[in-house]
Amino acid sequence: MAEQPWSIGLRESLFVWPLLELAHVLVLMLFVGTAAMLDLRLLGVTFRSVPASEFTGRLLPWTRASFALMAITGLLLFYSSPVRYYQNIFFRAKVVLLVAAGLNIWWFHSRVHQRVHAWDLTMPPPRAARLAAVLSLVAWTGVVVTGRMVAYSWFDCGLQPQSAFVNWAAGCVVPPVPEP
Amino acid sequence: MLLPFFEWCEATALGLAVRESVWLFPAIEAVHLLGLCLLGGALLIVDLRMLGTGLTRTPVALLARQARPWLVAGVVTMLATGVLLFLSEAIKCYYSQAFWVKMTTLPAALIFTFAVRERVAARSHVAGAPVAATGALSIALWVIVAAAGRWIGFS
């Protein structure tokens, strides 16, 4: 993938790469921002008089649309240096956390949110809704932090020696150390 | 004229500590980014409402009042971490155009948010063009601040 002309073009561009990165960060305000506001509402710590269904019905479309933008800019950024990111331990952790966040969303919508009208204004909200909110906050915090750390090369496969754990987690192919 | 001040900033113990640590700058940066998410959420939930979208069944005044502590928390987190990041590379910032764009729009955004927008939001039982314009201007100002901030890292 890294040999494709568009990947090389992205990687070496003076302005397109920074602009993609900039868009990724700006949309983060909208995406994680609105998701976090929904989570705080599900925890029952704020916006207590606003029905939970109003959040999921009227704010969540913004969260979804901004996620699409995050995914598009994120995939393009990945496409600019696929090999490097594939073997980056933070990138791998980010993907795992993204999957975890996705599973939590699926669980929330398929189970907890089905009965939202029964607890629309209940305070505190049901335990399951609060649990989903905490899991969401933890997962997205992790995604943001690991996402930021992807830029740092401390654990790059090219920088040996690394611990066995790092080499395993980053999928490094390490040539065997020659016998003395 | 201000360069000596920036040189002094860079030489402070805090600036030195952040600059000499391998992981401190990235860690502070990550918290700065999390602060941005909180600020973004608390800000946009109200701005979108002022623009007539999002939580339209809730009055602007109520939304703004409830979002305010989270907005303040976001701003405080960003200022605290931002100062640390600045101290570690003050001289680079001095020569960065993006930094100066940020330093002019940030006070404007703060004053606008806490002096103008807060008043408009508190009284906006009447929706309309001035309310929508306030929301739009708020988004514009903060987007410039955030974009300029990100651009400091590219220069």
> A162 or A105: which carries more pLDDT confidence?
A105
pLDDT-derived band at A117 (thresholds 50, 70, 90) equals: confident
> Residue A119: its pLDDT value, please?
85
- Is B85:B32 a contact under the CB 8 Å cutoff? yes
Average pLDDT rounded to a whole number, residues A122-140: 92
How many structural domains is chain A composed of? 1
> Residue A76: its pLDDT value, please?
92
**Cis peptide bond N-terminal to A124, omega within 30:** yes
- Domain assignment present for residue A162? The answer is yes
**Which segment of A122-126, B38-42, B89-93 scores lowest on mean pLDDT?**
A122-126
Question: What type of residue sits at position B36?
Answer: L
B43 close contact with A: CB closer than 8 A:
yes
pLDDT-derived band at B146 (thresholds 50, 70, 90) equals: very high
- Domain assignment present for residue A177? The answer is no
Average pLDDT rounded to a whole number, residues A134-140: 96
Give the CA-trace dihedral at A154, A158, A162, A166, to 10 degrees: 80
Q: Report the share of chain A in percent with pLDDT over 70.
A: 97
Burial letters A89-126, b for 16+ CB under 10 A, else e: bbbbbbeebbebbeebbeebeeebbeebeebeeeeebb
Domain that holds residue A160: 5-169
Q: What is the pLDDT of residues A2-34, one digit of tens each?
A: 788 888 888 888 788 889 999 999 999 999 999
Q: Which residues of B touch A59 (CB under 8 A)?
A: 45, 54-55
> A180 or B4: which carries more pLDDT confidence?
B4
Q: What is the pLDDT of residues B87-114, one digit of tens each?
A: 999 999 999 999 999 999 999 999 999 9
The complex's ipTM works out to 0.91
- Domain assignment present for residue A146? The answer is yes
**Interface test mutation site (partner B, options A16, A32, A37, A53, max chain B beta carbons within 10 A):** A37
Taking CA–CA distances from B31, the nearest residue in chain A reads A145
Element at B81 (helix H, strand E) = helix B60-88
> Residue A158: its pLDDT value, please?
79
Q: How far is A138 from chain B (nearest CA, A)?
A: 12
Residue in the structure block whose two tokens are 């993609």: A20
B22 close contact with A: CB closer than 8 A:
yes
> Residue A160: its pLDDT value, please?
80
**Which segment of A19-23, A42-46, A157-161, B129-133 scores lowest on mean pLDDT?**
A157-161
Q: What is the pLDDT of residues A69-96, one digit of tens each?
A: 999 999 999 998 888 889 888 999 999 9
Cβ contact A46–B33 (<8 Å): no
